Amino acid sequence: MSARRRRVGIKDKWKLKQWYEIITPDVFNNVSVGHTPADEPWKLIGRTVDTTLYDITGDFSYVHVHVYLQIIDVDPNNLRVMTRFKGHELARDYIRSLTRRKSSKVEGIFDVWTKDGYGLRVTVDAFTAYRCKTSQKKAIRKIEKEVVEEMIPSMTLDEAINAMLFGDLAEEIALRARKIYPIRRVEIYKSKLLYLPGPEGPVKAVVVPKPPA
């Protein structure tokens, strides 16, 4: 096939695609965060969208917070897709900027359930003012675990998302950890939605696109 024919074929494929507006879930006030193309609406189901909390809120101080949304429904008439929260992650450059010589990073990874039945994996990073001992790291990690396992189960998923992304969870960890050792900063580095509530118990948070029958 000639290069010209290949180019024409690619152009024709793109002409068949339509652009769908991406709408955030209720927890982010159903704002629009861009568009995504598809030649068939059902092919959008399960697609992951990478946006930032800055794109969602308009607050530039959150430009380093990547939010992952998963498409769960399509409105083909209005060319819109509905999403749910899949997780978040802080930009690696931002995390590197917090890591300094002669200080310590104490990381904890915890699986926890919200009160409305969602399973989350939460990664916490605490940055100390000075390099600390192994015993002090263990004590700080224990506080991270205590706070996460105390606060998240008392919240709905939406409340937990807000606590993780807007600082309430990190602030409580820092407050308690400073009684152990000088803490410079605490960040909820990453989260991931693992399970959803189902009629017969928890189900994995997996979406598989299915063509129409």
Buried/exposed 150-160: b ≥16 CB within 10 Å, e otherwise: ebbeebebbbb
Residues 19-50 pLDDT 10s: 999 999 999 999 999 999 999 999 999 999 99
- Strands 80-90 and 18-23 come out as parallel
pTM: 0.90
Q: What is the pLDDT of residues 175-200, one digit of tens each?
A: 999 999 999 999 999 999 999 999 99
* pLDDT in the model for residue 164: 98
Going by pLDDT thresholds of 50, 70 and 90, the confidence category of residue 14 is low
Residue 132: band (very low, low, confident or very high) from pLDDT cuts 50, 70, 90:
very high
Tell me how many degrees the CA angle 30-35-37 measures, rounded to the nearest 5: 135
Dist CA 161 CA 117 (whole Å): 14
3-state secondary structure of 204: strand
Q: Which two tokens stand for residue 139?
A: 């004590």
- The overall average pLDDT reported for the chain is 93
